[in-house]
């Protein structure tokens, strides 16, 4: 039985996906793809609410994944039913991963030369037995993630180019693998890189076009020999591009994608997560109790630690409807979760009216990096998932209970 309710009446805790906002983001991405020629993929690590994949498939070229489980989800829910692309990258793949990925992926991106060496014989064999000859359009296509050692991300935990990062191949390591020979078509073709048809980098996080333009400049300086090889047919610019934000320079991105495609004769890929799901949903909670300790503290049925861990990891103070900065309005509260973790604090907010037990709170921008990171620490219930349609009715898509907690332990 389908339950439809107004958002003000759904039981909490609950995630509510806003289809109107999701469609708006997706249509901006579709427009960029059409104008630039880029293929735009959903990075499922940010948002994997596959109930909405049928709709997203109307706008996007496919999905990308951080490993086998996400790749399979993307393939089963978007790739196979809607004939969309399935891409995958992971810091390392096991031989079991590779067996499972080969039949379902269009692109596989390797994080090191050693990983590529470990898997390439199997891949050549797969290409041969599936009747797709080497040198033609091999599927899955294989690529290497490079680390340009240039990123403008300031939060260290999110910076793939930070000192000591394991993410991506350094120029230095490429040169060593090539025996420091100059990279030419000949040496490249004869080398261990036979079968590599693309390059990938991911060095952005919540950024505008300008940092991307500067990064591409660095990549063109450091990797131009590879980029210019005829065997390189695609270039993946990763995620972290805030393409759907109002102030993003989309015209700049479109002309840069066109320039790269023409200059190097490559198909350009973008794989945003955030930009697909930004501002496309909320987390609804209820006030369970109010205590005092130097200030008023409201205990909620939503938790930073369990339901929005980025609040603690980044850290940041999430937007909350009808709330203000602390002390801006007469009633200030610290909002905190119903767990034993002392630091399970969402943030301090003020309100025009006093909060009461039973009041509902709507945290904004909670579609991305939330339900994919949910956990049941302290046995906390997982929020149910609702889909809000443009007619204002929310449909219950999933609920969770004790068994979901127990089955993981
Ligand atoms: C995280 C990640 C993305 C998506 O990043 P967003 O910031 O959500 O756009 C894309 N590609 C790779 C390789 C990633 O690690």
pLDDT in tens, 318-370: 999 999 999 999 999 999 999 999 999 999 999 999 999 999 999 999 999 99
Ligand 1 centroid–CA 273 distance in Å is 6
Q: For all residues of the chain together, what is the average pLDDT?
A: 94
* Coil vs helix vs strand at 345: strand
For 143, residues 6+ apart whose C-beta sits below 8 A from its C-beta are 107, 108, 109, 110, 196, 197, 198, 199, 200, 234, 236
Planar angle of CA 118, 123, 129, nearest 5 degrees: 145
- What's domain 37-277's architecture? Alpha-Beta Barrel (3.20)
**Domain residue limits, the chain:** 4-12+281-366+374-406, 37-277
Say how far apart CA 182 and CA 175 lie, in whole Å: 8
Interior/surface letters 130-162, b for 16+ CB within 10 angstroms, e for the rest: eeeeeeeebebbbbbbbbbbbbbbeeeeebbbe
Q: Which atom of ligand 1 is nearest to the CA of 206?
A: 7
Q: Which H or E run contains 95? A: helix 95-101
Do 168 and 160 touch, CB atoms closer than 8 A?
yes
Ligand 1 centroid–CA 320 distance in Å is 25
DSSP codes, 313-343: HTT----BTT-BSTTTSSEEEEEE-SSS-TT
- The pLDDT score that the predictor gives to residue 137 is 58
Q: How far is CA 168 from CA 46, 149, 159, 270, in A?
A: 20, 9, 12, 17
pLDDT per residue as tens digits for the range 198-247: 999 999 999 999 999 999 999 999 999 999 999 999 999 999 999 999 99
For 244, residues 6+ apart whose C-beta sits below 8 A from its C-beta are 24, 25, 28, 29, 272, 275, 276, 278
pLDDT per residue as tens digits for the range 276-287: 999 999 999 999
For 133, residues 6+ apart whose C-beta sits below 8 A from its C-beta are 127
Ligand 1 site-directed mutation target among 28, 29, 44, 46, most atoms within 8 Å of CB: 46
Tell me the angle at which helices 250-264 and 19-36 cross, rounded to the nearest 10 degrees.
40
CB 202 near ligand 1, within 6 Å: yes
Confidence of residue 193 (pLDDT cuts 50, 70, 90): confident
- What's domain 4-12+281-366+374-406's architecture? Beta Barrel (2.40)
**Is the torsion defined by CA of 155, 161, 167, 168 positive or negative?**
positive
Burial (Cβ within 10 Å: 0-12, 13-18, ≥19) of residue 120: middle
Ligand 1 centroid–CA 74 distance in Å is 15
CB 168 near ligand 1, within 6 Å: no
- The pLDDT score that the predictor gives to residue 2 is 57
Say how far apart CA 91 and CA 389 lie, in whole Å: 38
Confidence of residue 4 (pLDDT cuts 50, 70, 90): confident
Whether pLDDT at 190 is above 60: no
């Amino acid at each position: 039985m389908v339950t439809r309710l107004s958002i003000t009446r759904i039981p909490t805790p609950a995630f509510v996906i806003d289809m109107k906002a999701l469609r708006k983001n997706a249509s901006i991405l579709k427009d960029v793809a059409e104008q630039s020629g880029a293929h735009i993929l959903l990075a499922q690590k940010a948002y994997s609410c596959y109930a909405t994949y049928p709709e997203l498939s109307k706008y996007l070229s496919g999905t990308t994944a951080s490993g086998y489980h996400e790749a399979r989800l993307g393939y089963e829910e978007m790739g196979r039913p809607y004939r969309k692309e399935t891409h995958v990258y992971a810091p390392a793949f096991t031989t079991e991963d590779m067996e499972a990925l080969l039949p379902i992926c269009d692109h596989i991106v390797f994080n090191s030369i050693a990983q590529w060496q470990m898997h390439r014989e199997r891949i050549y064999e797969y290409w041969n037995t599936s009747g797709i000859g080497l040198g033609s359009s091999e599927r899955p296509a294989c690529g290497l993630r490079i680390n340009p050692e240039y990123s403008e991300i300031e939060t260290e935990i999110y910076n793939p180019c930070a000192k000591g990062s394991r993410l991506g191949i350094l120029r230095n390591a490429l040169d060593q693998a090539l025996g420091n020979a100059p990279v030419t078509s000949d040496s490249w073709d004869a080398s261990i890189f036979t079968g590599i048809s693309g390059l990938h980098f991911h060095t952005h996080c919540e950024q505008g076009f300008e940092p991307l333009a500067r990064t591409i400049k660095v990549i063109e300086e450091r990797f131009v020999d590879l980029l210019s090889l005829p065997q390189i047919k695609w270039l993946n610019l990763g995620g972290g591009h805030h393409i759907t934000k109002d102030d993003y320079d989309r015209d700049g991105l479109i002309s840069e994608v066109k320039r790269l495609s023409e200059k190097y004769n490559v198909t350009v890929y973008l794989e945003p997560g955030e930009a697909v799901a930004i501002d496309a949903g909320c987390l609804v909670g209820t006030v369970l109790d109010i205590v005092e300790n130097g200030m008023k503290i409201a205990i909620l049925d939503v938790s930073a630690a369990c339901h929005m861990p980025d609040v603690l990891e980044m850290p940041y103070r999430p937007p909350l409807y009808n709330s203000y900065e602390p002390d801006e309005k007469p009633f200030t509260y610290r909002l905190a979760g119903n767990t034993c973790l002392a630091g399970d604090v969402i943030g301090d907010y003020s309100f025009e009216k006093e909060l009461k037990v039973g009041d509902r709170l709507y945290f904004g921008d909670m579609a991305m990096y939330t339900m994919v990171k949910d956990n049941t620490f302290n046995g906390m219930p997982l929020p149910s998932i609702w889909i809000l349609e443009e007619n204002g009715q929310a449909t219950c898509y999933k609920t969770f209970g004790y068994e979901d907690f127990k089955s993981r332990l």
